[in-house]
Structure 1
Amino acid sequence: MAQIELTPQGDACETRYARGRIHSVETMGTVDGPGIRFVVFMQGCPLRCLYCHNPDTWDAGAAAGTEVTVEQLVEEFESNRQFYKNGGITVSGGEPLLQPEFLADLFAAMHARSEGRVHTCLDSCGYAFDPAHPERTARVLDACDLVLLDIKHADPAGHRALTGRDPARILAFGDELARRKIPVVIRHVVVPGYTDTPEECEALGRLIAPWQNVVGLEMLPYHTLGVVKYEKLGLTYPLDGVPEMDKARIPELRAAVMRGMRAARQG
């Protein structure tokens, strides 16, 4: 949390923000929220999705990534601010909620810019949310304008097989976003043999139906662009031999999600 240092006279003279550990920055992002965006990729992720194309973001250790300050990122954002007038900042990963203090400080700083309030977007899998301690992420969500929420699989067993983790925390995070009425875009990676059946997609629709704050749905076709990273890191690619998703099937599967959502809301 930001701390205010006071002079002996009691005047606020400086705001010190938490430091964060990031993987990289993309200055002209076009697929991570509305408009052109400044995208910060955080270091560290608790999931091990079989299709992950950024395994170099997994390690949350002190030696991984690059330590930065909020001020550094704000300065870099401002250097290209004219490009973001219809966009804003998105923090992705890795998993941003592993560093909630830094993320909260960054979003708060973006909202408080004297040049104008900056739209903030969180791209998260939600697993780092602790439903027993929602206060740990409260400041983040207080300053969050939009969430891109990754729902990996509609079935708990399928979710564990695909990511190595149980989905309960992710669903609790979705419930918290709905309670707060924060706009959410659901993202679902469509992987052949894992999440590409109409039945799984209809189940996804039923799963997200109670969240009245969902404003969008993105069905992302699985690709193999990350294979080269596994080779460079000396890792075995978990989905070796799985073909890229046929993009022509995406409208059909998106319609299945919407069908499941409508049925659940009407039923």
Structure 2
Amino acid sequence: MQVPTVQIPQPTGVRGYIHSIETCGTVDGPGIRFVIFTAGCPLRCFYCSNPDCRYLENGKQVTVDELMEEIQKYTAYMNASGGGVTVSGGEALYQPHFVAEIFRRCKALGIHTALDTSGYCDLQVAKPVIEQADLVLLDIKSFDPEIYTKVTSVSLEPTLAIANYLNTIHKPTWIRFVLVPGLTDATHNIEGLADFVATLKNVEKVEVLPFHKMGEYKWEQLGYDYQLKETQPPTPEQVQTAHAIFRSRGITVV
């Protein structure tokens, strides 16, 4: 009789830059999650709550081995709650080799993996990371291309390409949309996104995230121009209006 063996992931020495970690996150995927916020991001979103993640050199260099040592301290919490490891940012796909290796090591240990990304990455570069992810949290910050570029300073097209690819390979996906009054809340913008998401069979739900200004103090500390000083969070009625648009297309929304 053949005795079952456990494959123990071997050290790799792969390094990357992180901003911080959250050991018991509850909003970046299912269950209790070990969330890694990577450093480096090509987007310049008006409402970014982590503007100190823009540049790699502002992060801390760590090895995947060091991260795995920390992650394994929390496996009991993750297993009991149906959680796992989420890599966010910054932009996680800004360091694709690093993130793919984290996910590979986690999957070898049976740990659920989630990629939180804007999707602003060449599809061929993103594919090896997506392959290792059990779930993708895809931030589509606008569907109107002009609004998207205004919000982020980059093009919408790479994000749509990744969204369509995720659908093609049937990768479980949550869509995230930040509702910003006077910026992303135009009816045609939300309807356009809802119509697009309705064509994707892999999307489990849409998360409408109300705009907040919790990161404004970081902009001030860094000397950046925060252009949403006068913008207030959406009212409950505005959030419900957005929800209703998605639900009218048969989409689960929270």
Same topology, TM > 0.5: yes
Does the CA-based 8 Å contact 2:22-2:35 persist in structure 1?
yes
Give matches, 1:118-157, under 5 Å: 118-128=111-121, 130-131=122-123, 134=124, 136-157=125-146
Q: CA deviation at 1:163?
A: 0.9
Q: Secondary structure at the match of 2:200?
A: coil
Does the CA-based 8 Å contact 2:12-2:64 persist in structure 1?
no
Tell me which stretches of 4 or more aligned residues in structure 1 moved more than 3 Å.
none
Structure 2 counterpart of 1:91: 87
Which of 79, 99, 107 aligns to 1:111? It is 107
Mapped to 1, the partners of 2:75 and 2:64 lie a distance apart of 16
Change (3 A) 1:14 1:143: closer
Mapped to 2, the partners of 1:14 and 1:229 lie a distance apart of 38
Q: Secondary structure at the match of 1:149?
A: strand
Aligned length: 241
Q: CA deviation at 1:139?
A: 2.2
Q: CA deviation at 1:15?
A: 4.1
Q: CA deviation at 1:195?
A: 1.7
Deviates more, 1:188-197 or 1:86-95: 188-197
Mapped to 2, the partners of 1:140 and 1:67 lie a distance apart of 20
Mapped to 2, the partners of 1:254 and 1:147 lie a distance apart of 21
Q: CA deviation at 1:249?
A: 2.5
Structure 2 counterpart of 1:21: 17
Structure 1 counterpart of 2:147: 158
**Counterpart AA for 2:93:** L
Structure 2 counterpart of 1:100: 96
Q: Secondary structure at the match of 1:239?
A: coil
Q: Secondary structure at the match of 2:141?
A: coil
Q: CA deviation at 1:157?
A: 0.8
Does the CA-based 8 Å contact 1:221-1:247 persist in structure 2?
no
* Post-superposition CA distance 1:162-214 (Å, at most 9, x none): 11111000100111111111011000000000122333211111122221100
Q: Secondary structure at the match of 1:189?
A: strand
Q: CA deviation at 1:20?
A: 0.9
Please say which structure displays the higher CA radius of gyration. Answer: 1
Mapped to 2, the partners of 1:141 and 1:51 lie a distance apart of 26
1:42 aligns with 2:38: yes
Deviates more, 1:211-220 or 1:190-199: 190-199
* Post-superposition CA distance 1:39-77 (Å, at most 9, x none): 0001011111111111000113xx320111111111101
Does the CA-based 8 Å contact 2:17-2:62 persist in structure 1?
yes
Mapped to 2, the partners of 1:181 and 1:17 lie a distance apart of 32
**Counterpart AA for 1:41:** F
| TM-score, normalising length: structure 2 | 0.90
Mapped to 2, the partners of 1:99 and 1:40 lie a distance apart of 12
Change (3 A) 1:17 1:178: farther
* Post-superposition CA distance 1:125-151 (Å, at most 9, x none): 0002x14xx1x3332122110011000
Does the CA-based 8 Å contact 1:17-1:102 persist in structure 2?
no
